A and B are shown apart, each in its own frame.
Chain A
Amino acid sequence: MSTSLFEKLGGNAAVDAAVDIFYRKVLSDDRINSFFEGVDMDKQAAKQKAFLTMAFGGPHNYTGKDMRAAHAPLVARGLNDSHFDAVAEHLQATLKELNVPAELIAEVMTIAGSTRNDVLCR
Chain B
Amino acid sequence: MPRIFFEKQSYACQDNESVLDCLTGHGVPVPSSCRSGICQTCLMRAVEGAVPLAAQQGLKETLRAQNYFLACVCKPTNDLKVSLPDADVGARTKVTVLAKEVLGGNITRLRLGCTLPFDYHPGQFVQLHRDDGLVRSYSIASLPQREEPLELHVRHLPDGRMSGWIHDTLKTGDTLEISGPTGQGFYLPGQPDQGLLLIGTGSGLAPLWGIVRDALAQGHTGPIHLYHGSRDASGLYLIDELRELVEQYPNLDYTPCLSGPDIPKGFAAGRAEQVAFSHLPKLTGWRIFLCGHPTMVAATRKKAFLSGASMKDIYADPFVIATDSIKPAA
CB pair B302 A41 closer than 8 Å:
yes
Q: How far is the CB of A90 from chain B (nearest CB, A)?
A: 14
Q: How far is the CB of A46 from chain B (nearest CB, A)?
A: 8
Assess A24 versus B54: contact at CB under 8 Å? Given A19-B311, A45-B311.
Answer: no
Contact of A7 with B by CB under 8 A: no
Interface size on A, residues (CB 8 A): 10
Contact of B305 with A by CB under 8 A: yes
Interface residues of A in 35-64 (CB under 8 A from B): 41-43, 45
Q: How far is the CB of B151 from chain A (nearest CB, A)?
A: 29
Residues of chain B contacted by A45 (CB below 8 angstroms): 311
CB pair B57 A42 closer than 8 Å:
yes
Interface size on B, residues (CB 8 A): 10
Assess A27 versus B311: contact at CB under 8 Å? Given A42-B57, A43-B54.
Answer: no
The proximity string for A residues 1-32 relative to B, scoring 1 for CB distances below 8 Å and 0 otherwise, is 00000000000000000011001100110000
Interface residues of B in 273-325 (CB under 8 A from A): 298, 301-302, 305-306, 308, 310-311
Residues of chain B contacted by A28 (CB below 8 angstroms): 306
Closest to B301 in A: A41
Contact of A27 among B57, B305, B308 (CB under 8 A): B305
Interface residues of B in 90-109 (CB under 8 A from A): none
CB pair B302 A27 closer than 8 Å:
yes
Assess A20 versus B310: contact at CB under 8 Å? Given A41-B301, A42-B57, A43-B54.
Answer: yes
CB pair A41 B305 closer than 8 Å:
yes
Which of the listed residues B298, B308, B310 has the most CB atoms from chain A within 10 Å of its own CB? Answer: B310
A binding-site residues for B, Cβ under 8 Å: 19-20, 23-24, 27-28, 41-43, 45
Q: 12 other contacts beyond A24-B308, A42-B57, with CB at 8 A cut-off? A: A19-B311, A20-B305, A20-B310, A23-B311, A24-B305, A27-B302, A27-B305, A27-B306, A28-B306, A41-B298, A43-B54, A45-B311
9 A-B residue pairs with Cβ-Cβ distance under 8 Å, sorted by A, are A20-B311, A23-B305, A24-B306, A27-B302, A27-B305, A41-B298, A41-B301, A41-B302, A41-B305
